[in-house]
Amino acid sequence: MKLADIPVHAAAPADPLDGFRWPTDDFTRTPYRVFTDEAIYQREMERIFRGPVWNYLALEAEVPEPGSYKTVQIGNVPVVVSRNMQGEVTAFVNRCAHRGATVVRQEFGRAEGHACIYHQWNYDSSGDLCGVPYRRGLNGCGGYPKDFKPAEHGLQKLRVALYKGLVFGSFADEPPELLAYLGTNIVTHLDRIFVKPLKVLGYHRQRISANWKLYFENIKDPYHAGLLHTFMATFGVYRSTQKGHTLLSPGGGHAVVYSVTNTDSVESVVEAYQGTDNKYQTDFALQEPGLLQWSPDFHDGIGNLIVSVFPNMVVHQILNTFATRQVRPLGTGAMELYWTYFGFEDDAAERTAARLQQLNLVGPAGYISMEDGEAIRLVQQSITGESRDATSFIEMGGRGPIVDADHVVTEVCTRGLWQQYARTMGFAPEAAA
């Protein structure tokens, strides 16, 4: 080879993931490697969480006053949600623009500004840099160059969009319009819940030894609910034989799954659970049935509703409990699930008490949700070491088009998730891309 033939700029080495494609174009299979592959994880952080999506950040009610802030995690990036002194909700990356230290160290608080402890760069409540010590030096020594412009060294900002008390953030320069991103089905069901000012009741946090997408799969899968969560099958809070709906967003990544209570009969339940490990026990009754006493907040009979928005938000209504859940990835094999419980500001004391009582049902210790963490942990544990082409099997409810269903015996929302995921990641089979 002559010297002149050697290209001056070597082409960037090809990303080995560029050839990776989903095995089926209706997303009835998911390669297990997406739950364990470090390179895929890194691409998710970039293309999904820092990509053209809206991430769920917080509730406006959590940052009620000028200066109120809280810290969250979007993908693997620490973010501060802050209501600035002008009253607008802002969000910025919690990483000093000087040399990278965490600026805001408290989980929650109220402050007019934030000073980095390392060299005391001072930021205002919007994350703009407003002061730097020794800027012109000390006693004629040191100081920043004359062309140093504080306006160019603020904390990295996210775009923020609000909808009915929910705060969303995006790293994209030109994110899609929020309501178009959510789609009609999601907006309709958010509209149903977020009807008036909220009152935050507290938090649950859960560390699950599973990939974040296993949780997202789980939450979009109403088929497991009556089978894994025996408490529900036994007490009629929710059963797969109840009437329900499974609704998707245009890209498939968001879903609404709900069921209407008391729409099944004992006979249909007994029949449905034949062949299972005796999930339905007609003789099992609570000594304190008050736990399941439900005085509906709305008059549509919906007792169990899960709204999930790609990539990190879940909103639930289970009887009288409401919560948002933020999905926070912690590497390929772990995640934090962050639950924010709320009621309404105008709730009477008894209504608040009922909501609090029903928290026994949900969260990491909840009668009808403790199993989810265990189920997906078991998946993560056993797929580690699988061959690179091994896949799961997702055909409950059929193959083919990813469309709404008027029942909940389906995994179609799970396929919808994989469709949007694969397209965002550049993994879609050509036919679906």
Partner 1 sequence: MSPRERVQELQLRYAHAIDDDALEQWPGFFTAEGRYRVIPRENHARGLPACLIDCRGVAMMQDRVASLRTANIYNIHFDRHLLSPPLVEAPEADGTVRARTQFLVMQSDQSGVSKPFATGVYLDVVELGGDTARFRERTVVLDSYGVLELLATPI
Which positions touch partner 1 (CB under 8 A)?
A: 107-108, 200-209, 228, 230-231, 234, 281, 284, 286-288, 291, 336, 341, 352, 356-357, 359-360, 363-365, 367, 370-371, 373-375, 377
In the bound complex, what is the minimum distance in angstroms from residue 222's beta carbon to Fe ion?
9
What is the C-alpha separation between 93 and 91, in angstroms, rounded?
7
In the bound complex, what is the minimum distance in angstroms from residue 87's beta carbon to Fe ion?
39
372 in contact with Fe ion (CB under 5 A): yes
Q: Which of 118, 134, 148, 298 binds ligand FES (CB under 6 A)?
A: 118
- Mark residues 49-88: x for contact with ligand FES by CB under 6 A, - for none: ----------------------------------------
What is the C-alpha separation between 335 and 329, in angstroms, rounded?
4
Q: Pick what 341 binds: partner 1, ligand FES, Fe ion, none; C-beta below 5 to 8 Å, kind-dependent.
A: partner 1
Site for ligand FES in 326-345 (CB under 6 A): none
Stretch that binds Fe ion, among 48-56, 149-157, 365-373, 412-420 (CB under 5 A): 365-373
The residue (of 166 and 208) whose beta carbon lies closer to partner 1 is: 208
The residue (of 375 and 409) whose beta carbon lies closer to partner 1 is: 375
CA-to-CA separations, 139 to 118, 131, 143, 178, 266, in angstroms, rounded: 21, 19, 10, 52, 85
In the bound complex, what is the minimum distance in angstroms from residue 325's beta carbon to partner 1?
13
98 in contact with ligand FES (CB under 6 A): yes
The residue (of 70 and 254) whose beta carbon lies closer to partner 1 is: 70
200 in contact with ligand FES (CB under 6 A): no
119 in contact with ligand FES (CB under 6 A): yes
411 in contact with Fe ion (CB under 5 A): no
The residue (of 64 and 131) whose beta carbon lies closer to ligand FES is: 131
Task: State the residues that interact with ligand FES by CB under 6 A.
Answer: 96, 98-101, 116, 118-119, 121
